Amino acid sequence: MALIVQKYGGTSVGSVERIASVAERVLKTVKAGNSVVVVVSAMGKTTDSLVKLANQISTNPSRREMDMLLSTGEQVTIALLSMALQELGQPAISLTGAQVGIVTEAEHTRARILHIQPERVERHLKDGKVIVVAGFQGISSTSELEITTLGRGGSDTSAVAIAAALKANYCEIYTDVPGILTTDPRLVPDAQLMAEITCDEMLELASLGAKVLHPRAVEIARNYGVELVVRSSWTDEPGTRVISPTPQPRSLNDLEIARPVDGVEFDTDQARVALLRVPDRPGVAARLFGEIARQNLDVDLIIQSIHEGNTNDIAFTVATPILKRAEAVATAIAPVLRTANPSPGEAEVMVQQQIAKISIVGAGMIGRPGVAAQMFATLSDAGVNILMISTSEVKVSCVIDATDGDRAIEALCQAFEIREQGSGVRGQGEQRSGGAGEPVRGVALDLNQARLAIRQVPDHPGMAAKLFGLLAEHNISVDMIIQSQRCHVIDGVPTRDIAFTVAQIDAEAAQKTLEQAAVELKWGEIIVDSAIAKVSIVGAGMVGQPGVAAKMFAALAQHQINIQMIATSEIKISAVVAQDQWVTALQAIHAAFELAGSDKIEVPA
């Protein structure tokens, strides 16, 4: 007999008929000899409607009252589903988050789960009941016993956390699509179903905008080795399996907050090539990386900073043995780009050898802004200057001077409690290898991001730490952090621009926070742009495969789409484009990597 946790999303329980159909499926699972815990969302678009109601009363409602309001949605569904099961003759009991003992931080509207007290659920299961749990909600650990919610889409997280706490055999996420697809089928109808995906790939896709799974649910599945499947509640098709590696043992206490970092990686075999003052127009990145791909050279990190005047800087890292050839390509192409767009300065190639990449590895890095901030602060305290930053949900990497390498490793291992002797520290060549097969598994789109840029940030160790520490204090998650390569000397102080993306809802708070600090820290202007779209490709197989970035940039260039920013990690490449170009961008990239299937995916209304 297996213990199965099943989660049904809003559309799957969107009407009385749908709830009856879910009850049938649950009953079938029980009749097959399993114990079942069901986690449900609010019916249909109930949560959205509740948000609208609140906004009719207040433009800035208190987060505590929002939790009180939004948590009611799920409570309707649990009672109705429990009744539907009882009608079928199946003993069932509905329980709120508090009744299940889902204990969270007191952080309203985005609480993380601390632990789950499984005793009551286990008792009811022993009595042969199906337990129907309200997803998305918990109860604070403080004496006030406040109702909390986990953040929009959080029912997935409730389900996987319960599966981890109960040591369930597996967790099924039932939704309105056949599983995890190469992209959102509402935007690209010939998106194709994947039979399986690694949790690292899924974490990236989810944090880059694929809302089919809440990133925190994937984090918990990865950390506790929960077997996770995403399926349609309309069919009996097997859906998509999310594959987790064998987890390191970890306590169920502080379930979502303990040990975000489980390893430190370093790679000293790196060199950096930067092209300064390349024209800011479609096709430039495609041309540069197209030529590099034709030479079969593999680039690791790529960044393109936001434009200054009508030019950009593009920088990338390569392994030292191929540096000479990469440099030759960049040097050959610089004059071509220059004549195409006579700009005030000269396009120029800069090469830096003796650099190292140091990374912290884990899950949920972007979702936990304090982690990257702690990394930057640790490096700063150790006197290490950061040359380049790459963020992703599974890794934050900093390119530093190679001579700082040992000091950086030691400081990070200490800060994140990684034992140097153990398996948590990996040198070059021992890092996770790329997945087999297709380099790109999926394409994600995020229209809810804003870009912030701070001009003229003094360039010395500790600036990134200060900046991202401030944002982390306000719980603001940051992605695509890019420092310009160009250096302007102002009053004798070298400065660089820093740009990054945040969720649109955090943009105003981020701007305010930074403006307050700007005078004291001698920063220049702070610029916000919300009319952006972030398009990303994800795939573990892109590690060590030349030409992936070139193909993505060429697809955009073919449609005359200008790339405003580029940031990569080992398993993703993100580009920021103008918001009104997102449809073309997404479809062009999906087509370029030949991700389309033969069937059109129909999504229930």
Binding site for ligand ASP (CB under 6 A): 9-10, 41-42, 47, 73, 135-136, 152-155
Query: Is the sign of the CA dihedral 583, 587, 590, 592 positive or negative?
Result: negative
Binder of ligand ADP out of 160, 180, 301, 360 (CB under 6 A):
180
Q: What minimum distance in Å lies between the beta carbon of 48 and Mg ion?
A: 12
Q: What minimum distance in Å lies between the beta carbon of 282 and ligand ADP?
A: 26
Within 236-265, the residues that bind ligand ADP by CB under 6 A are: none
Q: What minimum distance in Å lies between the beta carbon of 406 and Mg ion?
A: 44
**Residue keyed to tokens 């059109």:** 600
Q: What minimum distance in Å lies between the beta carbon of 31 and ligand ADP?
A: 24
Judged on CB neighbours under 10 Å (0-12, 13-18, 19+), 591 is middle
**Residue keyed to tokens 């955090």:** 506
Q: What minimum distance in Å lies between the beta carbon of 184 and ligand ADP?
A: 3
Shorter beta-carbon distance to ligand ADP: residue 336 or 505 = 505
Say whether residue 153 binds ligand ADP (CB under 6 A).
yes
Query: Is the sign of the CA dihedral 330, 336, 341, 346 positive or negative?
Result: positive
Instruction: Residue count of the chain, please give it.
Output: 605
Say whether residue 349 binds ligand ADP (CB under 6 A).
no
- Please, are residues 42 and 77 in contact by the beta-carbon 8 Å criterion? yes
Residues near 347 by Cβ (< 8 Å), separated by ≥ 6? 275, 276, 277, 278, 311, 334, 335, 337, 338
CA distance 366 to 394: 8
Shorter beta-carbon distance to ligand ASP: residue 45 or 488 = 45
Using Cβ positions, the residue closest to ligand ADP within the complex turns out to be 9
Contact flags string 142-181 toward Mg ion, x per CB under 5 A: -----------x----------------------------
Contact flags string 402-441 toward ligand ADP, x per CB under 6 A: ----------------------------------------
- Please, are residues 576 and 499 in contact by the beta-carbon 8 Å criterion? no
Return the exposure string of 409-429: e unless at least 16 CB atoms fall within 10 Å of the residue's CB, then b. bebbbebbebeeeeebbbeee
CA distance 554 to 557: 5
Q: What minimum distance in Å lies between the beta carbon of 334 and ligand ADP?
A: 38
Q: What minimum distance in Å lies between the beta carbon of 536 and Mg ion?
A: 19
Q: What residue 224 binds from ligand ASP, ligand ADP, Mg ion, none (CB within 5 to 8 A, per partner kind)?
A: none
Contact stretch for Mg ion (CB under 5 A) within 4-12, 476-484, 497-505, 571-579: 4-12
| Residues paired with residue 42 on neighbouring β-strands, in sequence order | none
Amino acid code (one letter) for 90: Q
**Residue keyed to tokens 């009595």:** 127
Q: Which residues bind Mg ion (CB under 5 A)?
A: 9, 153
Residues that bind ligand ADP in the complex, under the rule CB under 6 A: 9-12, 41, 153, 175-177, 180-181, 183-184, 186, 205, 210-212, 442, 603
